[in-house]
């Protein structure tokens, strides 16, 4: 599935990602898993913004994780309370772990 991701859709994926995150924040009552997931997905978006010269395979993996997160009807539908985002957490975590050594070290201000 990652091979089918088109890096040319990066901006539209990030736009939908922003809408999804804002909707989650507006609904409130986020649990710790959802908060961590939002932080991790935002970190992936930041990586794309800061390092546009990343290898295409890394960009595709990041976009795949974002696309999976914004798909509300993935393996565990997001509307299922307390469980809907567990699969998203695993996918995003897997991508972060997989690309960790392929991106420049990010410093925190």
pLDDT band at 86 (very low <50, low <70, confident <90, very high): very high
- What three-state secondary structure class fits 68? helix
For residue 62, give Cα distances in angstroms to 31, 66, 74: 23, 6, 17
Cα-based angle 104, 106, 109 (whole degrees, multiple of 5): 155
**So where are the chain's domains?**
2-102
User: Once rounded to an integer, what is the mean pLDDT over residues 60-82?
Assistant: 93
pLDDT classification of 1: cutoffs 50, 70, 90:
confident
Distance CA 45, CA 108 (A): 15
Could you tell me which of 19, 66, 13, 6 has the C-alpha nearest to residue 41?
66
């Amino acid at each position: 599935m990652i091979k089918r991701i088109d890096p040319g859709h990066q901006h539209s994926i990030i736009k939908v990602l922003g809408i999804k995150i804002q909707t989650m924040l507006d609904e409130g009552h986020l649990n710790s898993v959802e908060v961590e997931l939002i932080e991790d997905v935002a970190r992936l978006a930041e990586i794309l913004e800061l390092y546009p010269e990343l290898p295409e395979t890394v960009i595709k993996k990041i976009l795949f994780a974002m696309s999976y997160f914004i798909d509300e009807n993935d393996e565990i539908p997001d509307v299922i309370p307390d469980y809907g985002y567990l699969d998203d957490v695993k996918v995003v975590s897997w991508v972060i772990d997989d690309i960790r050594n392929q991106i420049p070290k990010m410093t925190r201000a």
